[in-house]
Amino acid sequence: MDAGSVDNFISEQENKATSQKNRTRRKTITVLHLFLETKNEERKMEDILTAELNEYVSEFINSVRTKDGKEYEPSSLRNLLAISERHLNKNYPASIINDLAFKKTLKTLKTLNT
């Protein structure tokens, strides 16, 4: 295998990984939006006031289950919050992960870790 072939292989693998991450992000945000719909919330996540979103997200991470009905691992829930944070990061006034405005969400996550 020559250097060009190796470079192409690396590029293809990076592209596959990026595509997989993007699919996971879209799926996570879609699931969260579907949860919001079950709460009769028609606004997009980024249009919901911080206090309200805190309530929704804390309830969501407490109730979300895998396809086979099992609870998610704490690391998966942290990843879910990180994906939500990234989605909101552009225009949202608070950080799900770092702001006290999301204290209930963080306490819920901490409780699920024990």
- The pLDDT value given to residue 90: 74
What pLDDT digit, counting tens, does each position of 36-69 carry? 999 999 998 999 999 999 999 999 999 988 889 9
Q: What is the pLDDT of residue 11?
A: 66
pTM for the model stands at 0.79
Q: What is the pLDDT of residue 91?
A: 81
Mark the ranges of the chain whose per-residue pLDDT is less than 70: 1-4, 6-17, 113-114
Residue by residue, DSSP assigns 12-45 as HHHHHHHHHHHHHHHHHHHHHHHHHHHTT--S-G
DSSP category for residue 71: B
Q: What pLDDT is stored for residue 2 in this prediction? A: 59
Q: What are phi and psi of 48, to 5 degrees?
A: -90, 135
Amino acid, res. 98: N
| Domain edges within the chain | 3-111
